[in-house]
Structure 1
């Protein structure tokens, strides 16, 4: 073995200075000499070769949150990324409802999706595309995290396919309290008082409502929210539930009356900024800006809790912006509250996706976003004291004191209706289409299998 070491350490390819003793020694010495003479010496001018990198575990997350909401979502995911080392690629788009079917047809579904409509989630669950969460997260854990009605909203045919990450109180009217004080206006408690306030604002030469429906491929949802809120207040939860299930058609008087009540505002050029053209052209996320101009371009804005994420920089909740619930119309039904939310579902059953779903079902990401503001969680593990401002705590109070709570109807209906013909129909109505024609077209689009 000493002779082998001597050979390997030689700096030239000369024959060894000793005669081999055995034929086997000849073979070994010759082989080692060949290796030594054909070894390529390292290039001193080049850095040493890098060790091959271990692939980083990655998953894709598709959602409708963009801008400031996306930033807060990513902050809420940071502890998960740091703890697991899993890279989360979030893909945010306003065109979620149209992009997801395209990716489905192309076979490029994300690992996980954050659905803004449980009806759309139910469509994919019905196709067998979603992974039941019962085998991933213990039912007892889910029951401890969410009230029964939220668990029910995430279920299809007795199985849970979605967990709720964000809730929105939709039945809110935003206003600038200082602008109200300067103009001598008071917060209305009834629909009659709201109408009186609107007439007073118009008589003062001002415009009551900020209202913008433009939302790209999702244009129309702002208007359908109005219809749903009005039906709850004029016809009550029972009729509302029957309408959501299509037990009563879109041509029913309750639905027609709600469209006309909305039209009394949206189609009145004195009631909305920019008139009807403004309603159609102003992006929903820019429509509240008029509350905060000097002088105000408008004094009232009906929109869900999340809209504060889009307020102009410098607007302070509680000082520059406050809320009151959209008032009741028929006293028989008290004060019902319309809610929405984002539900998370899993398309691909991977270890990475399972870990993220379990994390999203825990209080941690909910608490992080709650502390950042502009967010309301349905998770029972989030204390009201977590919210950083009085306005958000007031939203939680409105939700807890509601006489009835119903989920956004368009989000519960089959996707072809709720996020299709209903959205399109309310837009057509504002554009001037005959109301009866609009309602008949929406009703005819209801899938036969869901009738």
Structure 2
């Protein structure tokens, strides 16, 4: 472990010093806007501090939970930040189309980037033959969390297929146990955890090509394949035998608290589907739990054997607005394994993108295994709702999930989303 940590620190130092020559004077500054707050902001500040120490550049970070609105205001006023943490690829494409983002092909060594990054990540950051965003970390979403001690005590096995998953759920119910804990509440963003479920199911039933068609609205929301994904989710989320507290609790439980029922004595539920970032919530709410021993995860099993087991995820993405030497230096730094090791080592629940990241930076064997799984995934797809126009992805889709779980007719829900999608896509907008 000491050897691994020494390598981590060495790579960080080399990465930062490679950009030190760009500091032209001690009073050079760089402005960055992002959504991070709390622990994540503290972690990103460590990334900034390392860069500042090596270069002498003063980095000023501005955090906001309403980044799209504030960024639009700043762009209109002519004083945007130099660098921005982009909410999603859809937002990146809109800003690039409007000419606000710098093509990073002019900034980064593309040969090095292709060696360090999988092609999927380069494609996700590209628009019209240009590269306008780089990813610094990811959240793997296709994960089911469980309590290993309770699984062993009850004789429950990890399912490898959806048929085995269904048998496990029925076995749990027969023993008087509740299979799932689900929480869809997230303030104004309520519903998004349900969209992740449906996206994962779409990938596992219809496959990645149809998934892409759905995201791009090349097939309608009323398509039978979309309806099937909702129905599979509904068989769980709308069933009081399968979910802790039934649909009422599903709608009212905050996503950050939804894993808690797995760790009560006795457990109120036995499984929770959520992204890798949930480890932060689990340990904050249950500080005595040990990763891998008291909580663990497995990949959501395949449903259609022909499709296999794709990985769904989201990621932290950075774009450059002002082309300055300081901004160029920081973007090169962010793409390096050193910067990403500082970030993921400090935040604790993120997976790095650069393939040269030393796995010893991860806080546990559990996170190492998740990182390996992401690297080895044959198929990766970005969170679909984040790629859709805002009116659809974070509007009608989020609300449609809440309405469906609340008991509304599925055909009516899908018809409404389709009507919103018709207007949003036909208008040519990419994020609203």
Cα distance between partner residues in 1 of 2:355 and 2:291? 24
| Aligned equivalent of 1:390 | 365
* Aligned ranges 1:270-309 → 2 under 5 Å: 270-309=241-280
Structure 1 position 94, deviation (Å): 4.6
The structure 1 residue matched to 2:234, chosen from 238, 263, 271, is 263
Superposition deviation, residue 362 in structure 1: 1.5
- The answer as to 2:391 corresponding to 1:416 is yes
TM-fit CA distance, 1:316: 1.7
| Structure 1 residues 78 and 325: alpha-carbon distance in aligned structure 2, compared to 1, 3 A threshold | same
Residues 1:101 and 1:291: Cα distance change in structure 2 (over 3 Å): farther
Per the TM alignment, residue 216 of structure 1 is displaced from its structure 2 partner at its CA by 2.6
Q: Distance in 2 between matches of 1:242 and 1:410?
A: 13
Other-structure match for 2:377: 402
Task: Structure 2: state its 5+ residue gaps.
Answer: 1-24
1:433 maps onto 2:408 in alignment: yes
**TM-superposition CA deviations, 1:29-77 (whole Å, max 9, x none):** xxxxxxxxxxxxxxxxxxxxxxxxx995544433333332222222233
1:220-244 Cα deviation digits (max 9, x unpaired): 2211111111011111122112112
Q: Which of residues 192, 216, 229 in structure 1 aligns to 2:163?
A: 192
Task: Return the alpha-carbon distance in structure 2 between the equivalents of residues 395 and 220 of structure 1.
Answer: 25
Checking the alignment, whether the CA contact within 8 Å between 1:94 and 1:216 is kept in structure 2 is no
In structure 2, what is the equivalent of residue 207 of structure 1?
178
Higher relative contact order (CA 8 A, sep 6+): 2
Q: CA deviation at 1:434?
A: 2.6
* 2:216 aligns with one of 240, 245, 264: 245
Of residues 327, 331, 336, the one that matches 1:362 is: 336
Q: Deviations over 1:181-215 (max 9, x none)?
A: 22222111111211222222223333221211222
Please give the TM-score of this superposition, normalised by the length of structure 2: 0.85
Shift of 1:98: 5.7
RMSD (Å) for aligned C-alpha atoms: 2.4
**TM-score normalized with structure 1 length:** 0.81
Of the three residues 115, 123, 142, the one matched with 1:144 is 115
1: CA distance between counterparts of 2:333 and 2:258? Answer: 35
**Aligned to 1:82, what secondary structure does the other structure show?**
helix
Q: Tell me the SS of whatever aligns to 2:222.
A: coil
Aligned residues: 398
| CA drift at 1:161 | 0.5
Structure 1 residues 112 and 441 mapped into 2: Cα distance closer, same or farther (>3 Å)? farther
Q: How does 1:8-407 map to 2 (within 5 A)?
A: 57-96=28-67, 100-101=71-72, 109-311=80-282, 312=285, 313-372=287-346, 373-407=348-382
Aligned to 1:448: 426
Partner of residue 29, structure 1:
none
Which deviates more from structure 2 when the two are superposed, residues 134-143 or residues 258-267? 134-143
* In 1, Cα distance between equivalents of 2:400 and 2:28: 44
Contact 2:26 2:57 in 1 (8 A): no
Task: Note closer, same or farther for the CA distance 1:415–1:140 as it changes in structure 2 (3 Å cut).
Answer: farther
TM-superposed CA distance for 1:382, in Å, is: 0.7
C-alpha contact (below 8 Å) 1:209/1:273 kept by paired residues: yes
Given the superposition, is the C-alpha separation of residues 270 and 442 from structure 1 closer, same or farther in structure 2, using an over 3 Å criterion?
same
2-structure distance, mates of 1:263, 1:92 = 37
Distance (Å, rounded) in 2 between the aligned partners of 1:407 and 1:318: 26
Residues in 2 aligned to 1:99 and 1:296: alpha-carbon distance in whole angstroms: 43
Greater CA deviation, 239-248 or 213-222? 213-222
User: Does the CA-based 8 Å contact 1:95-1:216 persist in structure 2?
Assistant: no
Task: Name structure 1 gaps, 5 residues minimum.
Answer: 1-53
Q: Deviations over 1:252-298 (max 9, x none)?
A: 11101111111111111232233222222222122112222222222
Task: Tell me the equivalent position of 2:19.
Answer: none
- 1:118-164: CA deviation from partner (whole Å, max 9, x where unpaired): 11221221122222212222322322331222111101101000001
